[in-house]
Structure 1
Amino acid sequence: MEDEDLTIRFLRHALTMKKGLVREKNVHEVVQNMTKAPLAVVTLADELASMAATYVATYNADHEKWNAQIETRKAVEVLNLVDVKPMRPLILAIAEKMQEKEVNKEMRLCVSAAVRLMVAMKTRVGNVEKGFADAAQKIYSSEIKTIDDLRIELSSFIPSDMEFQQMFTTARVSNSKLARYYLRSLESAAGSVNQPWHIPNDNSNDINLEHVLPKETEGNWPQFSEEEREQYWKRIGNLCLLRSRDNSTLKSSAYRDKKLVYKDSQYTLTKQIAEVEEWTTSAIEKRQMELSELALTTWPF
Structure 2
Amino acid sequence: MESSEAVSVDAATGQKSRTVGPRKRKRGKAHTSSKKPAIDPVDHETNDAPETKKVKRWKNKQRVLVFCARGVTFRARHLMNDLRMLLPHSRSDTKLDRKDKLPAINEVCEMKNCRKCIFFEMKKKKDLYMWLSNVPNGPSFKFLVENVHTMDELKLTGNCLIGSRPLLSFDQSFTEAPHNELLKNLLTQIFSTPYYHPKSKPFVDHVFHFEILDGKIWFRNYQITDSGGLTEIGPRFVLNLIKVFEGSFGGATLYENPSYVTPNAHRRLMKADAVHKYKKRVDARRSLAERRQEEEEGINVDPLDDIFNNA
TM-score band by shorter chain is under 0.3
Query: Quick check: which one's strand share is greater?
Result: 2
- TM-score, normalization: structure 1? 0.23
- TM-score (structure 2 length as normaliser): 0.22
Higher helix share: 1
Which structure's relative contact order is higher, taking Cα pairs within 8 Å and 6+ residues apart?
A: 1
